[in-house]
Structure 1
Amino acid sequence: MEISFSGEITNVDVSTFEFLNSLGEIDLSNNKLHGKLPRWIGNVSFFERLALSNNGFEGSIPLEFCKLNRLEFFDLSQNNLSGSIPSCFNPPNIEHVHLHRNRLRGPLSLAFYNSSSLVTLDLRGNNLISSIPKWIDTLSSLSVLLLKDNHFRGKVPVQLCKLHSLSIIDLSQNMFSGPIPSCLGNLSLPMKTKKILEIRFYLPYIEADESTSIALRKMEMDSYYPESYLEEVIEFTTKSGFYSYKGDILSYMTGIDLSCNNLTGHIPPELGNLSEIHSLNLSHNKLTRVIPSSFSKLQHIESLDLSYNYLSGEIPNQLVELNSLEVFSVAYNNLSGSIPEPKAQFGTFIENSYKGNPFLCGAILHKSCSKTDSPSTVSTVLEDKGEDGLIDTYDFCVSFLVSYIVVLLTIFVVLYINPYWRRAWFSLVGKYITTCHYSHVGNFLTYHIFKQCV
């Protein structure tokens, strides 16, 4: 039987309830509680796990919560909380923070600065602004970083590359700009073998001597009691869907989502070194140039989305080696040439994976390719090698205009400094104007006389 609580949590004098001082966990998630968060919770110093998610709490996070020094798990997600995250909130043993789907605003404060124990930071769906702070690399144990659907701007910081425990990164639906850091390709995306919060069990304490060891081993088979019912759940968009991961499955999940931003420049070939990645989404940006052939090394990838960019060139034929690929999209780019051979996983992709590229051809697109338009592995490799040295039309026009202005300024400066050259220049211009004038007058008289004679 499920019990649902509603109403407000009243003030409690902690000193009158001795059991609160030994209480290690409160889980009131998925109820109909509302009002402001109770400040007295901050006076229960023994709390290790606090879960009040999916309620109707409003107002700001009380400063009293900064006194929860033993806190390891903190979940206030899916409420109506507002204000900023208190800068004093930095429990020394905090591992999991879930504050998604609230109305928190302002920049990321120093709340989590130097939290070397922090494993999960989930701040999705708020109104946070500014850039990702450079001190993000002080979170040395960070494995899951979810900042989706906020108002972050600026460049994707290279400090993320120093977080060697990162396995899931979601920066989608923000306003990040500039290039994708090539050093992201250095991330090892390790499997999460520890610090995942899941339902834990314990045995009742028994002093066992040699005569009772056999009976104790038998009791271990059926006498476990739950230590905590809290289990961490991570939500991540992949394979064109929204999935929840927990337990052992979460241990194996790896992915990077940079979609729906204003990222520019080329896709770093170094991302092909992410051999353990399962999902990579770079869609809905302003990325240019070619698709790196190094993506053929992403042997564990299951979802690759490069749609809605300005990518050009051919789709590398080497991608057919990705035997784990389930979802693939390069739709709405400027790609050309033949699509990869329809073998292995690429034999399962439909027309929607390629639509919006008028110069692509292939049987699945109902558009035949001439022999001269067929894809060439050699040309793709050459494009990859030279992709960093290519200069697009925009760069050429800008450099030409700058050079032209520099030349004009140089001429004016020289004429201003040297009076002799200035007089010579004006004399030359005067002679040219006089010559042009007499030439036009002479032509006019000749034409008039010729007309009279006729």
Structure 2
Amino acid sequence: MNSLKFLDLSSNQFSGTLPKEFVIGKSFLYLRLSNNNLIGKIPPGLFKLQSLEALYLDRNNFEGEISNVHFSGYSALSILDISNNNLSGKLPRWSKNFLHLSELDLSTNHFDGSIPEEFCYIASLRLDLSHNNLSGSLPHCSSPSSRHLSEIYLSKNRLNGLLTHSFLNISSLEILDLGENNLSGGIPKWISNLSSLRILRLKGNLFFGEIPNEICELDQLRIVDLSHNQLSGHIPSCFGHLIGAPNSFSSWSEIFDSSTFNFDTSTEMEARLMQEVHTQLGSHGQHWIELVTKWWSYTYEGNILDYMSEIDLSCNQLTGLIPLAMGNLSDIHSLNLSHNNLTGPIPSTLSDLKQLESLDLSFNDLTGEIPSQLTELNFLAVFSVAHNNLLGPIPYGKGQFGTFDNNSYEGNPLLCGPPLEKSCKETSAQPKSYT
């Protein structure tokens, strides 16, 4: 079948190795072997098929290295997905041979070493190297081709060093996920140059210093996760104007238009097949992000991210008051400011967050009463003010507040009323002190 151009054998129970003869003399345009039980090494000839433009080998058990493949020319590949395998070794430096690459997914493997500078020359719209063992500093991507990047996923590696000017000129970037690495230093002020950014995830690193006001210049931001770092200082009051409108992310059906590929659609049959491939591509390679909301970690992907909005600043060293302007975040679904050193009262303006489903203010030094206006939050499913210095009656039994148990209020000796056993008529204990 040397003239076969479209082959999809995904989501079966094929096992064993992929024969070398499988690629000899083939003229594949689209090859998908995803979600099987294939093992062994990937035949190097697969990467060299000059006509191949979309290759999916993800969710198998392929192993070995791919850095030793030698090219005599440039590949026609537009999509390469070899994620969720057991591949190891260094990342390939032959990535610059992919001049037409629109999606590169090498995630969830065992690649180690640093990210080669050659990756900055990929004209990819989506780059996913997450869930590997990569180390070293981030590459300085100043190549003109890298300015078209839309999504960068580098989470759950062992990357270190500073952000410096790694992604300074990528104004098209919509998703930047650097979570769960060992990156350090301050969050750079040039972050405001990423004018299209909609998701910023820096969770679980070693960033310190104050949160720069320049983040507030990113008027498209919908999700901000700076949790589990060493950030200090006050929450910028401009965060109250941070969450952008729920516009759509770049559509893959728009990205993979007829100009992306070089298919020969000289026959009516190929034209129909091409239309079907576009449909397949539109459902694959969706943007995604891992978020903790309602106390659980979820992976959100696809169209739901067009509507999801969250700010997570938990587990830092932030001080000062919760800005009154946070009440302007009318579209936000989840707000987590827990495990900081915030002081002062809970702003009653938070009652204006009508879409809020999760509010966690626990483990701070907040004082005063719980504002009764918060009972107006009709979608609130998770609420915690545990381990603060709050006092007075709990607005229990009104709206969603009739569903929260003792865990939402524990560690506040001066709170009283249901669901706590302590009656508000009892003599108040002395407030606890923090050192």
Structures share fold, TM-score greater than 0.5: yes
Distance in structure 2 (CA, Å) of the matches to 1:251 and 1:285: 29
Task: Give the corresponding residue for 2:63.
Answer: 6
| Other structure's SS at 1:184 match | helix
Q: 1:201 to 1:106 in 2, by over 3 A?
A: closer
| Corresponding position of 2:366 | 311
Query: Contact between 1:150 and 1:174, CA under 8 Å: does it hold in 2?
Result: yes
Q: How many angstroms apart in 1 are the aligned matches of 2:252 and 2:411?
A: 43
In the alignment, which residue of structure 2 is the partner of 1:232?
287
Deviation per residue, 1:213-254 (Å, 9 max, x gap): xxxxx9999886423632222111010100111112111100
Which whole-Å CA distance do the structure 2 matches of 1:51 and 1:192 have between them?
A: 25
User: SS of the residue aligned with 1:118?
Assistant: coil
Whether the 8 Å CA contact 2:107–2:132 is kept in 1: the answer is yes
Could you give the per-residue CA deviations for residues 365-392 of structure 1, whole angstroms, max 9, x where no partner exists? 011113999xxxxxxxxxxxxxxxxxxx
* Aligned residue in 1 for 2:53: none
Aligned equivalent of 2:165? 110
Deviation per CA, 1:277-319, whole angstroms, max 9, x where unpaired? 0000000000001000000100000000000000000000000
Shift of 1:363: 2.2
CA distance in 1, matches of 2:278, 2:90: 37
Look up the match of 1:15. 72
Instruction: Give 2:238's aligned residue.
Output: 183
Tell me the distance in 2 between the aligned counterparts of 1:219 and 1:48: 20
SS at match of 1:114: coil
Letter of the 2:133 partner, please give it.
Answer: N
User: Aligned residue for 1:269?
Assistant: 324
Identical amino acids, percent of aligned pairs: 51
| Residue aligning to 1:158 | 213
Q: CA, structure 1 residues 239+47, in 2 after alignment: closer, same or farther (shift >3 Å)?
A: same
| Equivalent in the alignment of 1:382 | none
Secondary structure, counterpart of 2:159 in structure 1:
strand
> What TM-score do the two structures reach when normalised by structure 1?
0.75
Deviations along 1:1-27, whole A, 9 cap, x unmatched?
Answer: 3032101114233225xxx53211111
Query: Partner residue of 1:336?
Result: 391
Rate the CA distance shift 1:267–1:93 in 2: closer, same or farther, 3 A.
same
Asked whether the equivalents of residues 147 and 169 of structure 2 are also in contact (C-alpha less than 8 Å), the reply is no
C-alpha distance in structure 2 between counterparts of 1:340 and 1:150, whole Å: 37
The gaps in structure 2 that reach 5 residues or longer are 1-11, 13-35, 39-60
Is the 8 Å Cα contact of residues 290 and 299 (structure 2) preserved in structure 1?
Answer: yes
Change in Cα spacing, 1:118 to 1:347, as seen in structure 2 (3 Å) is same
Indicate conservation of the 8 Å contact 1:189/1:274, yes or no: no
User: Mean alpha-carbon deviation: is it higher for 272-281 or for 187-196?
Assistant: 187-196
CA distance in 1, matches of 2:273, 2:389: 66
Match of 1:64 among 112, 118, 126: 118
Aligned-partner residue type, residue 240 of structure 2: G
TM-score by length of 2: 0.78
C-alpha separation in 2, matches of 1:202 and 1:154 = 44
Gaps of 5+ in 1: 213-217, 374-392, 395-454
Pick which of 150-159 and 230-239 moved more: 230-239
Q: How does 1:318-397 map to 2 (within 5 A)?
A: 318-370=373-425
Contact 1:153 1:175 in 2 (8 A): yes
Q: Distance in 2 between matches of 1:107 and 1:222?
A: 44
Which residue in the other structure is 1:121 paired with? 176
Other-structure match for 2:58: none
Q: Within 1, Cα distance between the matches of 2:345 and 2:274?
A: 58
Asked whether the 8 Å contact 1:302–1:327 carries over to 2, the reply is yes
- Letter of the 1:86 partner, please give it: P
Q: CA deviation at 1:34?
A: 0.3
Q: Is the 8 A contact 2:396 2:418 kept in 1?
A: no
The equivalences for 1:217-296 within 5 A come to 225-227=279-281, 229-296=284-351
Match of 1:51 among 105, 108, 116: 105
Tell me how far 1:196 sits from its aligned partner.
Answer: 5.4
1:87 maps onto 2:140 in alignment: yes
Structure 1 9/205 Cα, relative in aligned 2: closer, same or farther at 3 Å?
A: closer
Offset of 1:199 from its aligned partner?
A: 11
Provide the C-alpha distance between the structure 2 equivalents of 1:114 and 1:88, rounded to a whole number of angstroms: 8
In structure 1, distance between residues paired with 2:264 and 2:92: 35
Structure 1 partner of 2:96: 42
Distance 1:81 1:291, change over 3 A: same
Distance 1:308 1:196, change over 3 A: farther
Name the larger-Rg structure: 1
Q: Amino acid of the residue matched to residue 133 of structure 1?
A: P
